[in-house]
Every structure is written in C-alpha cells, then in structure tokens.
Amino acid sequence: MYDKLLKTVTSLGSPRILLVGDFILDSYVYGDALRISPEAPVAVLKVIERKDSCGGAASVAADLATLGAKAICLGVIGNDSNGKVLCKLLEDLGADVSGLVKAGDRPTTNKQRMVGLAQHRHRQQLLRIDDESTEPLTPQQNEELINKYKEALKTVDIVCLQDYNKGVLSENICRQFVEIASKAGKRILVDPPMGSDYSKYTGACLITPNRQETSIAVGFDVKTIDDAKRAAAILAKKLKLEAVVVTLDRDGAFLHTSEYSEHLPTIPRNVYDVTGAGDMVLATLATVIAAGGDFASAVELSNIAGGIEVEKFGCATVSVEEIVNEIIVSRRGKSGKIHTLETLAHELDVHRHQKDKIVFTNGCFDVLHTGHIEYLKFCKDQGNIVVLGLNSDSSVKELKGPTRPINNQHDRAKVLSALESVDFIVIFDEPDPLATIMKVRPDILVKGEDWAEKGVIGREFVESLGGEVRLAKMIEGKSSTATIEKMQSENTENA
C-alpha cells in the first residue's frame, strides 16, 4: 500500500473540479487578551493582526489548489465588499470564479473570529460573529446557477458539492445537479451538513458525513466501527451511492462500496483545530478520484491530509509534499532506517521527486563519541536527507586490523539509527565507499577535513553529476581509535 499511495499522490496532475456550494469568507482578528474589561466581565482584545481567508466551499477551493487541482467555483455571494475580497482570494489561488453569482438581496457569508493570544502565541478563539442569509435563492438565481452548472460540466473531471446549509444547495437544485451530472457521466462527491434527510443527494457517487452527521442521518449513535459499518451500508443503499466514507475523527474513516466495507485507521494526532478538516478530506478525495485513483487510496490519502490539517490553526491547506513526507515517515517507522542498496534506491527516488538534497558520508563509527555527533550534525546541515555508508565488520578489520571493530555492524547501525541527524544507513563490505556512492548518487559528499590532502573518494563521480564535496571540521583528540586506546590504557593501569 505504501508504494501505491506514493505513486498515486505524486501523479495527481491537474484535474479540473467543479466545486458547488456555500462560499464563505473567514475573517480573523488576532489580539492580545491579557486583561478583563472594567465595563463587563469580558476579555479585552488588543488587536495585533487582521486576516481574511477562504471558508466553506472556498476552503475546499484552496485545498484543491494546494493539491494541484483547478477549482471551477459555482455558488452565490453578495454584491458587497466581502464578496470582492473572497473573489480576489480565490483568483489568487488560480480558481475560476466566473460561476459565482452576485446577489443584491443577500450578503456574502462571513464568519469573523476573535482570537486571543497570550504573549503573542497560544491562540484561543474567543468569539465568532456570523453575517449570513440562509433564505432560499430566487427562481432567477437558481436558473442562473443551473445554466452555469451545465456549461461548466462540459470541461471538468468531477463535481463536488460542499453543503453548509446556507441556501444554495436546496433540495430541488441538488436533485437537478445530480441528474444532470449523471447524464453527463460525471461523478458527484458530497460533503453534507447536519441533517436527518439526505435524500436530495440520491444518485451521487460518494458522500462523506462525519460521525455526528452520520448518527443523525441514520437515527442511531455511531460509536463503534461496527456502528459505522452498519450506518454506511444503510446510506449507500438508501441513497444509491457508489461509496460512503464515514469520517471518524481519531478512528480514521470507514469506507463502504458495493464490493467491500473496510475500516481505514489513521495516525493519532495532537488536535489543534478541527476547522476545515472536512474540507480537506473532500478536496483530497476529489483530486485523487479525478486523477484515476481508487476509493481505498483516496480515503487513505484523505485520512493523512485531514490528520495533518487538524494540527494547524483554522482552515489550513495541506500540500502534496506534506502528504508524501507523512507517508515516508510512517513507512520509515515500520521499516527502520537501515536498508540494503536496493531498498534504499527506492526511498531516495521518492526524495528526489520531492527535490530533497541528498547528503552522503561514510565511516566505521566503531565507538560513538562527541566528534561523531558533531560531524553528523554538520552533514544534516548540508541538505535534507543524510545517507550514512557504514563499513561492515570485514571492511573495518581490513582497514583497522584484526582487533576491530569493538562493536559489530548490527550494533553500530542500531545506535546510529537512533540519531536524528541520520536518515538512512547502508552497510558496505568494500574497503572504500565508491561503489556505494555510485548507487546513492548524492548531491553532497561529506568527509572530514583530514581527507583534504588524501583525496576524497568519490569526488570525481559526485562532481560529474553536478554535486559537490564539503569538508567537516574535526574535533581534535576525538576519534574511535583514541577512545579505544584510552580505555585500553586505563584497563592496563587498573590491572
């Protein structure tokens, strides 16, 4: 699954996604909240910063843009200053806003959050002020939306409905959107609001209610995985859906299709703010499915993206690079840092795709000491990924003599793998690392400055690839040989 997820997320391309729903302007007022007002028992907010960002369906557009997709926006905003601000934010993301109908009879939905800071950090939302209308659209506005929808549908790969119950996705217009898309052979993904009746989404491809929304929709509490399984099956049958994805916060998600039902767990997170998590999930599902990914891969990747998002404040986006790094870190936790050249090559290909700079160094690292730690920190400072070529036991014996190494290659590798500055370790048998360097193909080759006159092995090869050699300053008196000799001398004196 690891290889499949990496291949999928790095091959998303730039799908065109018709995004229909409630476009919201999120406004934040940040300030220090260090005292209570003498006028009333409320916090006094001393303003430090004001910020506008995309919310609701606009948040999904931002997420889509970060994933490389093109959002074609369709909805209703007010003919007001907030509407202009929201359109500018969307245009700056590369979204197409020609489908946003400007209404004179309703405001652009705006959620203004007052956020208190203690010593300019530790953000805490104090108050939210909503300016909105949830009244049904006029017949003329509905007709304009349907006409724009039909026109946009010709050029997109998939459709998303992001329903916040603000009046745009009424029952009548929703049913029309589903029917029109079905006739055009386009899939519709739905992120529904809280409600007991989801019949207006009948015939869509996929729906993504969270635990609470699912509980209300099916009429019983979704507490366990078995509850989610039963609820997903009910929704799929009742609404004639290809798939149901019940998002289960800390428990990941449950995926139900006509072929299988599966619980897909997620990594436990330090949740900072759940705002926008559902938007990120919908955007990831849409992008992956539009790019040809299957439902299981789409849910796995949306689990990862949603998990990263809740560790951020507000409606935050998550990039492909962040998802890739999360997959790699998760994989590394299972496979460890110690690799053969064959398995290492695949890991490095992924990092090269992410434009990471690869650093290589090598050595015996027999008895670890301060000099080694500082040397490896120097290596890490030169790039993103440090590959350490470790001399095997036979190689060390050839270089250092029959009494070495003190610690075998497995123990040395295990100790080194605990260091944050080392990303990968590969053990080699040859007396020099040239063959390993030619397999790794590093951007940076690091050796100690004592190799300046001896000549750094692999220099010509690395430089032929456009890389370079950097020499690290050595700490005087710190070496495995000196440490071992000192230990032997003390043992002799104490004998």
| Chain segment 150-198, per-residue pLDDT in tens | 999 999 999 999 999 998 999 999 999 999 999 999 999 999 999 999 9
- 340 or 477, which is more confident? 340
In contact, 395 and 370? CB cutoff 8 Å: no
In contact, 178 and 190? CB cutoff 8 Å: no
Pairing outcome for strands 243-247 and 253-257: antiparallel
Alpha-carbon distance 128 to 27, whole Å?
A: 10
Which pLDDT score is estimated for 251?
86
Which pLDDT score is estimated for 388?
97
Which pLDDT score is estimated for 106?
95
Alpha-carbon distance 28 to 415, whole Å?
A: 47
Give 487's pLDDT tier (boundaries 50, 70, 90).
low
Q: What is the mean pLDDT of residues 378-393?
A: 95
Q: Is 191 a catalytic residue?
A: no
State pTM to two decimals.
0.71
Task: Indicate if the pLDDT at residue 115 is higher than 70.
Answer: yes
Contacting residues for 466 by C-beta, under 8 A, at least 6 apart: 443
Q: What percent of the chain has pLDDT over 90?
A: 64
Span 192-209, pLDDT tens digits: 999 999 999 999 999 999
Which pLDDT score is estimated for 334?
52
Which pLDDT score is estimated for 366?
87
Alpha-carbon distance 169 to 172, whole Å?
A: 8
Give the three-state DSSP class for 182.
Answer: helix
- The full set of domains in the chain, from first to last, is 2-23+59-95+139-331 (3.40.1190.20), 337-494 (3.40.50.620)
Residue from 343, 353, 308, 304 nearest 327 by CA = 304
In contact, 8 and 304? CB cutoff 8 Å: no
Select which of 22, 279, 356, 423 is catalytic.
279
Bridge partners of residue 75, in order along the sequence? 100
Task: Indicate if the pLDDT at residue 424 is higher than 90.
Answer: yes
Q: Is 471 exposed, middle or buried (0-12, 13-18, 19+ CB in 10 A)?
A: middle
Task: Indicate if the pLDDT at residue 402 is higher than 70.
Answer: yes
Give 35's pLDDT tier (boundaries 50, 70, 90).
confident
Task: Indicate if the pLDDT at residue 300 is higher than 70.
Answer: yes
Task: Indicate if the pLDDT at residue 414 is higher than 90.
Answer: no
Which pLDDT score is estimated for 161?
97
Q: What is the mean pLDDT of residues 33-48?
A: 89
Task: Indicate if the pLDDT at residue 109 is higher than 70.
Answer: yes
